Amino acid sequence: MSTSPLRAHLPMSAGYGSFNRATGTPNAYAVDLYEDGYDDPVYQGKARVLNHAIQDIGMGKYQWYLFVVTGFGWFADSVWPLLGALILTPVIYEFHFDGPYLVLASNIGLLVGAIFWSLGCDIWGRKWSFNLTLFIAGVFGLAAGGSPDFVTLATLIAVVGVGVGGNLPVDSAVFLDFIPASHQYLLTVLSIWWSLGQLICSLIAWPLIANFSCASPENCDRSNNMGWRYLLFVLGGLTLFLWGIRFFVFTLLESPRFLSGVGNDIEAVEVIHKLARYNGKTTTLTVEELKAPGQDPDASPSRKRAILSKDSKYGMGHIKALFATPKMAWSTSLLIVLWGIIGLASTLYNNFLPYLLASRGAEFGDTSLYITYRNLVILSTLGIPAAFIAGWAVEVPYIGRRGSLAISAGESPPPLSHLHYSTTSRGIKGSLARFFTRAPRPRTSNQLLGWNCGYVCCSNMMYGVLYAMSPEIFPAKDRGTGNGLTATAARAFGVMAPVIALYANLATAVPVYIAGGMIIFASCLALLLPYEPRGKASI
């Protein structure tokens, strides 16, 4: 790629200088992810100025509050997609329909939400998307609890999905826009909210589903099958409560990178100063300094480089920017493929986990809903330490984000705890062959539980890294679009999972083995990603 004449005129401050202007000390993370050049050097220069200012302000009160309220998005993304699996059995008993249709409705809503909110936050900014997604999920979640029939329930659950589908793509962009480069690893640790969501949802569902549900489809009506409705009421109310904290208690500042991108450099600088005051700090950033990267002495006075048009009309420019160079095109394509594969494999496994536990438990004499939900609580609890392990692993030298993703994905498939395979001595092909033909089956209920414990721990680490790595790689001006493309791939393939289940024999473990093989393949692809965000500032 040829060097733009603009690069030669970027001031030291625009180059994310090597010294802290306020203290004169060396500035950590002085190199950004696109150190070898970026297709839009003006945007890169402005992003470096903003990164420098945020790094000088440091990790403070605002960012820790943001860690909590953006965590609500991870919480919702965990709770509502899991809900279809938790209420599946009692809803089938009451409404008499094929189970995967409910999961299909939820995933269609998640797909629409991922596309709409992700692309939208690059058009009208982060604040509207950030504040509306939880509200939609809470209101329609409450309404779903009063559904008189399956069509109404499926429709309302789909609308809930529209709200929930935008949470992670938008919230990860919001968090990364304000976090100092030295603390970007916290985006991985945010997955603790995902695990807490699973745990709380399972704890609430355990007594409600177990004690207020029909034991069989015979004579099952609303009066003796209120458990799943109570669960929807509680989770809908909880989601609205979390939205209330976001909207009434915490005031979200608009992304300074977005503001600068639409030409509002003055407002972007004001946001940086508000951030500094909130944290009890000061900043010396000026509007002139932020505008400096666009001052090309060789350009005519009328020359402008608008990153996003002020009329907020969406164009193909955001998508083209993610494929602007061969390296970026390869990176974006790999991420889309990774999200699609993992989205299909994990949805296929997770959405039918209660059924798997119940059906396999029946073979071992454990047929009660009590045992099923007890096991779900145990599995959900294991995700909490996994989030902290993932946050530590992504900062380990020579491992970083790519290595952590590859390792956690490679160890995620449930049967691997029994295989003891070696990819170095036998190769991937031999490992997969052994995986499909010689994987031992659990012989007891406790062995099945242990089998799934290993899977949940590793898969939560995998998702924690994947959710963080993708936004780090995408530039902020196109981050919503990039998150939308990857989330759309995951949701689109997630829609395929219940369709597969409609025609698959769920009495066998074949879908689980297929899911495991796909995740192993994804772990290999992770090593081919060209960018390693560890130790570098995201722009």
Q: Is residue 15 part of a domain?
A: no
Strand partners, 526: none
- pLDDT tens, 334-362? 999 998 888 888 777 665 555 555 555 55
pLDDT for 1 equals 37
Neighbours of 12 (CB within 10 A): 12
pLDDT value at residue 36: 63
SS3 32: strand
| Distance of alpha carbon 376 from alpha carbon 353, whole angstroms | 9
Element (H, E) at 383: helix 369-393
What is the chain's percent helix, strand, coil content, to nearest 5? 70, 0, 30
267 in any annotated domain:
no
pLDDT at 400: 86
Distances (CA, A) of 19 to 49, 68, 181, 321: 12, 31, 15, 30
pLDDT tens profile 32-73 = 777 666 667 887 888 888 988 999 999 999 999 999 999 999
Q: Are 128 and 312 in contact (CB under 8 A)?
A: no
Quick one: which of 218, 123, 220 has its CA closest to 173?
123
Residue 12 within a domain: no
Q: What is the pLDDT of residue 509?
A: 59
d(CA 536, CA 447): 42
> Structural domain of residue 331, as residue ranges?
61-252+322-526
Distance between CA atoms of 128 and 173, rounded to whole angstroms? 13
Which value, to the nearest 10 degrees, does the dihedral of the CA atoms of residues 501, 352, 137, 463 take? -100
Which pLDDT belongs to residue 480?
82
**Model's pTM, two decimal places?**
0.79
pLDDT at 419 (0 to 100): 32
315's enclosing H/E stretch is none
* pLDDT for residue 312: 46
**Alpha-carbon span 150 to 23, nearest angstrom:** 63
CA–CA separation, 414 and 409 (whole Å): 11
Please indicate, yes or no, if residue 431 is contained in any of the structural domains. yes
Q: What is the CATH number of the domain that holds 514?
A: 1.20.1250.20
Q: List, in sequence order, every beta strand (DSSP E) within 66-113.
A: none
**How many domains, the chain?**
1
Domain assignment present for residue 517? The answer is: yes
Helix axes 353-363, 445-473, angle to 10 degrees: 160
Residue 429 falls within a domain, yes or no?
yes
Integer Cα distance of 73 and 178 in angstroms: 16
The whole-angstrom separation of Cα 164 and Cα 166 is 5
C-beta of residue 207 within 8 angstroms of C-beta of residue 102: no
Angular region, 125: left φ>0, alpha ψ -120 to 50, beta rest: left
List all residues 6 or more positions away from 77 whose beta carbon is below 8 Å from its beta carbon.
164, 167, 168, 194, 197
Q: Tokens 């790094």 — which residue?
A: 55
Instruction: Please report the pLDDT score of residue 350 as a whole number.
Output: 61
Judge whether 43 lies within some domain: no
Q: Using alpha carbons, list the distances in angstroms from residue 435 to 199, 473, 511, 513.
A: 30, 33, 13, 8
Query: DSSP letter string over 423-455?
Result: HHHHHHHHHHHHHHHHPPPP-SHHHHHHHHHHH
Query: Is residue 246 situated within a structural domain?
Result: yes
Distance CA 347, CA 476 (A): 28
- 93 and 217 in contact (C-beta within 8 Å)? yes
Q: Compute CA 30 distance to the chain's CA centroid, rounded to the nearest angstrom.
A: 27
User: Closest Cα to residue 373, out of 107, 89, 81?
Assistant: 89
pLDDT per position in the chain (539 positions), as tens? 333 333 333 333 333 344 444 444 445 555 677 766 666 788 788 888 898 899 999 999 999 999 999 999 999 988 888 887 788 888 888 888 766 788 888 888 988 998 888 888 777 778 888 889 999 999 999 999 999 999 999 999 999 999 998 888 888 888 988 999 889 999 999 989 988 998 898 888 888 888 888 877 788 888 888 989 999 999 999 999 999 999 999 989 988 988 887 778 899 999 999 999 999 999 999 999 888 886 644 433 333 334 333 444 556 777 888 888 888 889 999 999 998 888 888 777 665 555 555 555 555 555 566 777 777 788 888 888 888 888 898 888 888 888 888 888 776 554 433 333 333 333 333 333 333 334 455 556 677 677 778 777 887 888 888 888 888 888 888 888 888 888 888 888 877 777 776 666 555 556 666 777 788 888 888 889 888 888 888 87
Distance CA 14, CA 241 (A): 42
In the numeric block, which tokens belong to residue 6?
């603009």
Task: Give the torsion through C-alpha atoms of 378, 383, 389, 393, to 10 deg.
Answer: 140
Residues 166 and 526: their CA atoms lie apart, in Å, by 24
d(CA 454, CA 456): 6
Closest CA to 500 of 84, 93, 96, 98: 98
For 401, the token pair is 């984000």
* Greatest C-alpha distance within the chain: 81
98 in Cβ contact with 365 (< 8 Å): no
Q: What is the pLDDT of residue 159?
A: 94
E strands along 235-331, which residues?
Answer: none
